[in-house]
Amino acid sequence: MRNQKLYKGSLNTIILKFLGENTKMYGYEITQKVKQITEGELNITEGALYPALHKLEADGLLDVEVLKVDNRLRKYYKLTEKGTKETVNKLSELESYLKTMQAFINPNFSLE
């Protein structure tokens, strides 16, 4: 496992990106998707994921829906209109950040 702190600042962007690609997702599904895509490199703990989801909800970027699934209630998160706009901004910020970092690490490399 690499340094998790490096990923911490991008957690909201990761969540928003996933929700932008899927109509709705629940907490556990997000952790599994992250694990699958990063091949286990990034492991989002419950202690980090749920506060992030609740904060995004409080900021009006996410909406929730509760459905009964397999004998229990499941809380699904989906992007609001504001959330969809914010996803575009966050991804653009992240892309710009990556370019800057890349320039530091390897000045001859270009993402384009």
Partner 1 sequence: MGKLTLDNIQFIETYLKNSGINFVDVRMEMTDHIASSIETEIEKGDHRDFYYIFKDFMAVNKKSLLKSYDKYYRLIDLKILKRIFKKALSLNGILILFTCFFSIMLLQGLMFKEDFFKLIKNLPLAVFTIIAVIYFFAIRRKSEKYSSLERIGSNLMFIYYFSYFLFHRFDNIELINFNVYSIIIPSVILIWLNVIILIFAFEMKKKYELMYRENVNA
Binding residues (CB under 8 A) for partner 1: these are 26-29, 32, 45-51, 54-55, 57-58, 60, 64-75
**Using CA atoms, how far apart are residues 23 and 81, in angstroms rounded to an integer?**
13
Name the minimum Å distance from CB 4 to partner 1.
Answer: 12
Q: Nearer to partner 1 by C-beta: 64 or 101?
A: 64
Q: Nearer to partner 1 by C-beta: 54 or 85?
A: 54
Name the minimum Å distance from CB 32 to partner 1.
Answer: 7
Q: In what order do the strands lie in the sheet with 25-26?
A: 25-26, 72-79, 62-69
Residue type, 74: R
Name the minimum Å distance from CB 56 to partner 1.
Answer: 10
Q: Nearer to partner 1 by C-beta: 2 or 68?
A: 68
In Å, what is the CA distance from 58 to each residue of 4, 10, 16, 55, 87?
25, 18, 14, 5, 16
